[in-house]
Amino acid sequence: MHTVTSSSPPTGLDATLVDELRSLLPPSADTRHALAPFTGTPLPSIPQAHPETVAATAALARSAAPQWARRPVADRARIMLRFGRLLAEHSADLCTLMQWETGKARVHAAIEVHGVVSVALHYGRHGARYLRHRQAPGSIPRVVRAHIDYRPKGVVGVIAPWNYPLFLAVGDVIPALIAGNSVVSKADSQAPLTLLLALKLARQAGLPPEVWQVVAGPGAALGPALIDSVDYLCFTGSTATGRDIARRCAERLIGCSLELGGKNPMIVRADAAVDAAAVGAVQACFSNAGQMCIGIERIYVHDSAYERFVRAFVERTRALRVAADYSFDTDMGSLTSARQLDVTTRHVQDARRKGAKVLCGGLARPDLGPLFYEPTILTNVTPGMLVHSEETFGPVVSIYPVPDDATAIAEANTGRYGLSASVWTRDLAEGRSVAAQIIAGAVNINDGYLSAIASLDAPMGGMRDSGLGRRHGPEGILRYTEPQTVTTQRIPTPYPDRHRWLLVRALSSFARLTASFAQRFPRR
């Protein structure tokens, strides 16, 4: 057991709140703490669950699931709407906690709160519509009817990383609850308190305590126990961990959604509004200090716009205010962990050594805090460099000049990921044509990263090594359900197989006739 005196909470955060949040976890004599990125001082100690605790927690969630599932969907949605309102009301505390645990700038914490409130309001309002019973024509027209209902899976496990401990960790829980599941979340070890404050507010909104529970502890130890106890697993994190999770889920034949890594490209076409593209690039590359799965790490700029774009982008990047600060007066905060600082430093050093040019940034800033790194722009990056194709997940971007759209698209499609992309152009039709040729689950035209993930009625997720499944939209809630088909037959005829065979032959002939008629006289 580690006994560590944590640094006191930031001004404005009630110390008793931290104790109350810790008490929401299953008790354990084993505690661990992470370090506050702004200062390097210990964060509060967190009780660590063991695999047996995870199994017991999931069993409790399972016992509560049927009653929760029996409640009308409108009731469940109402609770989530109330939850959304409470999250908005407690925005200041959520932002402060999130900044303390992750070192992000306040503006990025506030955007995150806004994002999760929007998810709660969206699924609160539209969840019932997505889950609505539907009917389809059955095997014998007018005689058989198919009824489709979306039944909850049962218990859903949710594992999310530290970079968006509210938007990702809670945003994926909300639709699971509205669909009638109970949920067990494994909190990330860096930012459990943010998630626990959300849990407290959900219970305050009327959610029965057993229906959503949180455990904390190392992913490698608790992940397998969680997968073994649930009926579906929603994972957000690295591609390497995602593969392990997929293997374990496959063993149990349970479904999973995997929201994984990215090395997202931006294309600036010859006709782009260059200044706007530079502003968009600053947001897309340096928000959350670049620790963003949908952040841009590669920019392909048409030769004719290259110099203007680089000048505007570098100028705006140099103007960013980087600091450890709990006010809205900074534009970029700290990296969150020593691991992220290490990867970022390694990628830039490797690129520099192999001939890349650093246009701005390129250094750690221990004078600002132990994990700070400057927003960094590179050119002359070549395929042999780590930063060329590996995800940095830090404030580093490479710019490449390209002679035409075809080259930009081909370059954008290199590598193993396919999460998000951005295209800048004044011609929206051309922009959509370029987007259609990019291998990515989301493409933002004339925006760097945000508009697709903030369009909550539309699915969001990755192609290739960026994952499986989608969050948001109908896909984001239906993934937590089992569609059940019930057919009703108006004339209950237990006809012999011989007659059934004749009926099938007659229906097939009719289908063939209809198909050839449709082919000959297509509808205009």
* Residues belonging to the active site: 259, 293
Residue 216 or 399 having the CB closest to ligand NAD:
216
Residue 241 or 287 having the CB closest to ligand NAD:
241
CB of 89 to ligand NAD, least distance (A): 26
CB of 221 to ligand NAD, least distance (A): 8
- Structure token pair of residue 325: 């600060």
CB of 484 to ligand NAD, least distance (A): 29
CB of 356 to ligand NAD, least distance (A): 22
| Spatial separation of the C-alpha atoms in residues 338 and 37, rounded to whole Å | 9
CB of 37 to ligand NAD, least distance (A): 14
Residue 216 or 377 having the CB closest to ligand NAD:
216
Residue 112 or 259 having the CB closest to ligand NAD:
259
Beta strands 357-360 and 376-379: pairing type? antiparallel
| Spatial separation of the C-alpha atoms in residues 469 and 480, rounded to whole Å | 11
Query: What's the alpha-carbon Rg for the chain, to the nearest Å?
Result: 26
Alpha helices per DSSP H over 187-302: 192-204, 219-229, 239-252, 274-286
Neighbours of 293 (CB within 10 A): 27
Residue 82 or 471 having the CB closest to ligand NAD:
471
Residue 236 or 425 having the CB closest to ligand NAD:
236
- Structure token pair of residue 485: 């088909």
CB of 62 to ligand NAD, least distance (A): 20
Q: Which residues contact 345 (CB under 8 A, 6 or more apart)?
A: 364, 373
Cα–Cα distances (Å) from 435 to 430, 440, 442, in that order, read 8, 9, 9
| Element holding 159 (H helix, E strand) | strand 155-159
Alpha helices per DSSP H over 354-492: 386-389, 405-412, 428-436, 450-453, 473-478
Residues that bind ligand NAD (CB under 6 A): 159, 161-163, 168, 188, 219-220, 223, 236-238, 241, 244-245, 259-262, 293, 391, 393, 419, 462, 467
| Element holding 268 (H helix, E strand) | strand 264-268
Residues 145-176: b if buried by 16+ CB within 10 A, e if exposed: beeeebebbbbbbbbbbbbbbbbbbbbbbbbb
CB of 452 to ligand NAD, least distance (A): 12
Considering Cα of 501, then 503, then 506, then 510, what sign does the dihedral take? negative
Residue 102 or 236 having the CB closest to ligand NAD:
236
Q: 2 — phi, psi (to 5°)?
A: -100, 125
